[in-house]
Amino acid sequence: MEDGHVRFRLWAPAEDRVTLVSGGHEIAMHAQADGWHEVETDLVKPSSPYLYRLADGSEIADPASHAQLADVEGPSIVTDHESYAWRNTGWKGRPWEDAVIYELHIGTFTPQGTFRAGIEHLPHLRDIGITAIEIMPVAHFSGRRGWGYDGVLHYAPHPAYGTPDDLKALVDAAHDHGIMVLLDVVYNHFGPVGNMLHRIAPPFFHPERHTPWGAALAFEREPVRRYFIDNALHWLLDYRFDGLRFDATEEIVDESHHHVLLEMAATIRRTVTDRQVHLVVEDQAKRKSLLNRDGGDVHHYTAAWNDVFHHALHIVATGEDGGHYAKYRDDTDDVLRRATARGFVSEDRESDRVGPLPQKPLPQQVNVNFLQNHDQVGNRAFGERLLTLTDPALYRVMSALLFLAPPVPLLFMGEEFGERRPFHFFADFDGELAEATRAGRIDEAENFGGLPDGKTANDLPDPNDEQTFLASKLDWSHAASPEGQRHGAFVRSLIRLRQAKIRPLLAEGEAPEPSILASDPGALAIDWHFAEKTLSIRANLTHDKRNWTSSSGETVFEIPAVGGAGPSITVSIRPT
């Protein structure tokens, strides 16, 4: 948008003629030899609705729409991102070692389920000690409610949550409180309803390759790469997010000479230089090559979700060892110790590698640890939270392990005040797609704990029922209850201790050398040898007496075993 002119651009190699339609104007777009259709005009103003008319007379939304009038198949809205008056123009972000992350879903975080309503609870998060919120995907998906992982218009915030300016106001307000804002983005597939690219740009997809959620994307093609790289820059520049969390990056397959994930990170690092930006991957391939720091600075990605830590700890906490947890049932202790000490329990496979493996040890803060997240809660049969599935004494010990081990901790919304309401999977589909979604919940339930005794598939909540969505909203009255305040005080004390004792160790810059010491089954004994100090954690995750290699130094935190046996943890620091 420049000098009152708006430029419209559409990649539609399957179309020989495209017309821009807005108000009473019908403007022919100029077809280029490479499949692009372009026009620049002063006849269409900001806030105006528009559509693209194809050669057969049908009309579609802009696949790169920045806002929609209503649903994904209706008119797009010309959006002027320069019109928002930012308050925090001097915000420079925060270093990653500060990060204590809070994952939230905008629609269920508040009763209203909007960007603006979320602002009200930012002081609560600040006072608990949260330094970063991670917002589940907001890219426009079909229907009125959903988790967001079926986005179709990746540049447009869903109008159920508010306008683009409302989202900017949330980011601005978070910065007021010193809180970073990360956005979860999905670059591995498009949702099943409302995506016109299959029709107008078939080369966008690989017909012979599929992800678990649909056709794979043809990242070897430049327009596909640009669509997603520019989308990342869109959120970081137009909305001033502090970073992005990339969903299921193992499903982003690129056989070109320079993997799109590396080009994405390099372009972001080269473009956004006025503040700190953090890029986090969820990568089932566990690729260290995405996190290479051999050049000194963060060239690629800042961190990765450490789901192996969660899976092993979940077996210990609940005894559930089927589905996704089955591969860790036979060596749970060993996996948990290695996932806690180093984060990575396996090396990159050659076939998965996107670049050279790091030759230097990676710092501990490349790992993001969690006791639960949207997947681990919402994909359960009845959306149960971990606090309702395990012994409270063990839960407190696990919480201390989460916050006082070196990796960056992540909380799922409500975890800070001991929320017990479920968080379900929910959607807003009709017909055959709704039936397929219901059927899919059975398999997901089996992967995440299975059906409780006495329950059958017929008892599962209907993901398309609005009540399933409403039942997933946080109970803020519990946060104000005596129980909620006691739990909140415990979490607050752990975060303060982390910032006072653990964060300075991470800020030293050098990766610590971890040692896994001898301990009985169900116990952890780990030392992290930083440059000047050694951090020691000794934990008993059973209800029996356990022994381990003793530690020395100043005890900075302790939950003692009751009567000499049962869940306990001791954290100490000594000179290295």
Positions annotated as catalytic residues are 247, 282
List, in sequence order, the alpha helices (H) in 147-294.
164-176, 197-200, 222-238, 260-271
Question: Distance between CA 330 and CA 309 in Å, rounded?
Answer: 15
Question: Distance between CA 280 and CA 101 in Å, rounded?
Answer: 12
Dihedrals φ, ψ of 49, to 5°?
A: -75, 150
Closest CA to 339 of 314, 359, 369, 319: 369
Amino acid identity at 394: L
CA distances from 466 to 155, 207, 425, 434 (A): 26, 35, 11, 13
C-beta atoms surrounding 528 within 10 Å: 25
CB 242 within 8 A of CB 276: yes
Q: Taken in order 114, 120, 121, 122, is the CA torsion positive or negative?
A: positive
Question: Distance between CA 269 and CA 260 in Å, rounded?
Answer: 14
CB 390 within 8 A of CB 371: no
- For residue 566, the Cα-to-chain-centroid distance in whole angstroms is 34
Pairing of strands 180-185, 243-246: parallel
The per-residue b/e assignment along 351-390, b for 16 or more CB within 10 angstroms, e otherwise, is eebbbeebeeebbbbbbbbbbbbbbbbbbbbebbbbbebb
C-beta atoms surrounding 529 within 10 Å: 15
Q: Taken in order 111, 115, 117, 120, is the CA torsion positive or negative?
A: positive
CA end-to-end distance (rounded Å), the chain = 58
Contacts of residue 137, defined as CB under 8 A and 6 or more positions apart, other chains included, come to 147, 148, 149, 151, 183, 184, 185, 186, 247
